[in-house]
Structure 1
Amino acid sequence: MTTAKDLFIIAMDLKRSVGQGDLSLALAGAELIDLIRAGAVAVDGDRIVPGGPPTLDDQFMGEAAAGLTRQAPYERIEDWLWRRGRDLSAAYQAALEKDGELKPQRSGRWSFGTERVEPADTPARRRAAARWKEKEPVLAALASVVGIDGAHSEEETGLDDEAVTTVVAAVHDAVMELEAVRQRRTIENTAFANLWRGP
């Protein structure tokens, strides 16, 4: 399992209300961090520099690596998050359901996406739970960015890798930008509704 899959499982396991767009951006960030750790990419300022061919046995990681821009000036981290993150949480949900990692929810009102699902009791779920219990820094930092756990501040993340810290910060900025877009649309829709309603 990867950091992205662990993050997805934790988001459902804790039954937090996480926006699909927010989670998709965080999943893209998690993939990029795993690519950094695998030596498949490096970070130069705000750019993603491809490294040697990675040995990845994960479908999503393979897709992420294949989608890297391999010519200078290379892609900005933020641009990659938006491009790679498009509908990524839905793709993870479909893949995890297919692999039996998710199951239909038996009861309750928690809805994730269009279907009510929850993590199945699998080794992957137990691994994700163990990383979460240990407050593994990368998983905790990405979870905090999307509001899964508000107990962590940026000073408490424990990230000791500059490239990883840069990616987490870029995810945070992208999530904030997405929230600003949501708020702007809400204001515009309210104003439009008021216009039609009249005085």
Structure 2
Amino acid sequence: MTTAQDLFIVALEAPPERPVGQGDLSLALAGAELIDLIAAEAVTLDDDLILPGPQQALDDRLLGAAASALGRQEPYERVDDWLWRRGRDLSAAYQRVFEEDGLLSPARRGYLPFGAEHLELVDSPARQRARRRWEEDEPVLRALAVAVGIRRGPSQDAPGPDGEAVTAVLAAVNDAVMELEAVRQRRSIENAAFANVWRAP
């Protein structure tokens, strides 16, 4: 299992008062994949550029798809550009794979935190692993969860993620989620103004 899969599971189990938006989750999943690729030494970062390493076989098919999607010619892709490109509809891709792998099943009650499909997580080793990382307050998973609003920020004495590259990716995820929220707010204001024009006498 990967950090991205663990994040997806955590997002599905988010409390109802903290629903996770598909766009926010997709950006964070793209960031989680990049962090996993860094850990696998499939990529390195040069400032904010993603430098691909030697192509290698990866056990997880979605992570393999992420590795295959890397730009391998100069000019190399920036981290923020990767998040937006790879993140497009990525949460839906994870949902499909989870369904195909039997990690999601029709629900007797309740819904996914996003969408309208009657699905729920089955009890599986993958779910147990994600819960264990969550309960251990693993820094990378915690930081991604904070970015998408599942939980509040850590206490000041909580350990942070290891490595400058991982920290840079997490910062880019935060910036991208904030940018997406700003776009939502701008559209909401524009739509409200348009509606007021039609209602005006």
Paired residues of 2:20 and 2:113 also in contact (CA < 8 A): no
Q: 2:33 — aligned with what?
A: 31
Distance 1:75 1:118, change over 3 A: same
Q: Structure 1 residues 11, 25: closer, same or farther in 2, change over 3 A? A: same
Match status 1:147 vs 2:149: yes
Post-superposition Cα deviations, 1:72-98, rounded to whole Å, max 9, x if no partner, equal 220000000000000000110111011
1:12-161 matches, cutoff 5 A = 12-15=12-15, 16-108=18-110, 111-152=113-154, 156=158, 158-161=160-163
Q: Which runs of 5+ in 2 are unaligned?
A: none
User: Matched residues in 1 for 2:89 and 2:140: separation?
Assistant: 22
Residue 110 of structure 1, CA deviation = 5.5
CA distance in 2, matches of 1:153, 1:172: 18
Give the aligned length.
199
Q: With structure 2 as the length reference, what TM-score do the two structures score? A: 0.94
**How far apart in 2 are the matches of 1:13 and 1:114?**
15
Is the 1:35–1:65 Cα contact (8 Å) retained in structure 2?
yes
Q: 1-side partners of 2:49 and 2:155: how far apart? A: 26
What amino acid maps onto 1:140 in structure 2? Answer: R
Contact 2:49–2:79 under 8 Å retained in 1:
yes
Alpha-carbon distance in structure 2 between the residues aligned to 1:42 and 1:58 = 19
Deviation by residue 1:87-134 (Cα, 9 ceiling, x = unmatched): 000110111011110122222466432313221101100010001000
Q: Where does structure 1 lack aligned partners over 5 or more consecutive residues?
A: none
Give the secondary structure class of the aligned counterpart of 2:194: helix
For 2:67 and 2:156, the matched residues in 1 are separated by 28
> Identity of paired residues, percent?
65
Match of 1:188 among 187, 190, 193: 190
The amino acid of 2:126's aligned partner reads A
